[in-house]
Chains A and B, each alone.
Chain A
């Protein structure tokens, strides 16, 4: 069951690649919080990862935080292990927290289908946008920048032009 629009963000408390645990409450200083389901092995994530970094860079000074969560079963997909996550953060110089949901409890609470998949919450931690980062994995073909458009509208005091879009990516790899 996926978190519905206007619903409250389910809490989480997960280890990050920086060696510390990060809970939902730890992001209280962020007005706008994007929780993005992610992973290492997926070509769709890899294609969008640069845009995730750019969004954090461009909106970070305006009260926005992006946090990525990897819930994939690393027994079946060893590229998605915690150690590989740490290596990826270093190699790709990720500028956002990258958390490991080993028991998949956060994924069960949020209900993502894909990686990458965005859940954007407002200052009251109500879901205001859910879906894709933009409309094309190929950066050169992007026509609609869903997440940026949502943030621009929210920062201007309005509503996201699209509150839900269909994420495209790899399936979340559930434990059997």
Chain B
């Protein structure tokens, strides 16, 4: 399994996202390294179709397919909660669903 966490240093949420992701991996006994990839420029954001920080892809699939369609930008990414709230990181449930 290939797990990639793309981040932009200008948004403070990626360490929290990484911690949550590693917790979920440990809970489910998944032995996989999280590959950290920094996105530094607007051009890189375009090239990587990076909709904001953090973006987590598992075997190339974004953990939030709806949010993945947002305009590429160096920004904090919005994750929408089922109840109508928002968060700067994906939920545990989103990560678990994406990990299958």
A79-93: CB near B (< 8 Å → 1, else 0) gives 000000000000000
Are the CB atoms of A41 and B75 closer together than 8 Å? yes
Tell me which of A47, A137, A170 contacts B75 (CB under 8 A).
A170
Q: Which residues of chain B are within 8 angstroms of A137 by Cβ–Cβ distance? A: 87-88
CB distance from B17 to the nearest CB of A (A): 12
Measured in the bound complex, the distance between the Cα atoms of B88 and A47 in whole Å is 9
User: A171 contacts the other chain (Cβ, under 8 Å)?
Assistant: yes
A42, B87: Cβ atoms closer than 8 Å: no
Closest to B9 in A: A171
Measured CA separation A124–B63 after assembly (Å) = 50
Q: What residues of chain A lie closer than 8 Å to B10, measured between beta carbons?
A: 170-171
Using a CB–CB distance below 8 Å, which chain B residues touch chain A? 10-13, 42, 73, 75-79, 85-88
Task: Kindly list 9 other residue pairs between chains A and B, CB separation below 8 angstroms, not including A44-B76, A47-B87, A168-B12.
Answer: A41-B76, A43-B77, A43-B79, A43-B87, A43-B88, A77-B75, A169-B12, A169-B76, A171-B10
